[in-house]
Amino acid sequence: MTAKRLVLLCILLVFCSLGCPGSGSATAVSTFLHQIEAAAATTHSFTCDFIQEKHLAMFKKPVMFKGSLAIVRPDKLRWEFTEPLPSALLLSGVSGMRCNGEAPPQAFSLDADPVMKIVAEQLWSWLGGNYTHLEEIYTMELVDATTLRLIPKEKMIADFIAGITIRFDRTTLQPATVEILEATADSTKLLFSHYRLNIEPAKSLFCDCDSRE
């Protein structure tokens, strides 16, 4: 996997996992960010299911994927596609693994792999529960009471992503849908469901490609 694809994977992961709230005014943005951080502080772990729709300009119908996400703060993550092509990214502390169907797993160490270290740092900058610093990176606009639009300020992100629209569940403050418009005019839509908060996933989920919940 190339460095650019890893960075794009990182961007997709962080936008799809917990999102970032906001509003039309700076005060409202700050208030809502603190609400999200307070909710995150009470969520040690979670799992959820997702459907990913990849809309490509060259195809009339979207490419569909199904998968699941598992998080245990501060440093365990499993992002997995189950259909149609199984693959997964696993993180556990400084150790990680890339799983690609029937191919042999590719283990790596964040101490020895600078690209994956950047990916992990970016993931946990979003998933660690501290979101207020993201106001420096994104322009945020509240479309309606539960829908937020994010426009990246940094060129590195803007080269890949033109904008992100996140619709939050009003009760759990978790994203229900995330739509990512790429700079190429292709887009990705993710639909999240079946959140399970503060469960304790099996430790093997984060170090074994074949592990299941």
Selection from 169, 88, 200, 73 nearest residue 125 by Cα: 73
pLDDT more than 70, % of the chain: 79
Condensed to tens digits (0 to 9), the pLDDT of residues 157-174 reads 788 888 888 887 878 777
Quick: pLDDT tens for 80-118: 999 988 999 999 999 999 998 778 999 999 999 888 887
Would you tell me the crossing angle of helices 114-127 and 3-17 to the nearest 10 degrees? 10
Distance CA 148, CA 133 (A): 17
Name the CA radius of gyration of the chain, rounded. 17
Contact 151, 165 (CB under 8 A): no
Q: What is the Cα–Cα distance from 6 to 184, expressed in whole angstroms?
A: 18
Domains, the chain, ranges and CATH? 3-206 (2.50.20.10)
Paired strand residues for 164: 150, 180
φ, ψ of residue 87 to 5 degrees: the values are: -165, 160
57-75: pLDDT as tens digits: 888 888 899 999 898 988 8
DSSP state of 7: H
Helix (H) / strand (E) element for 83: namely: strand 76-83
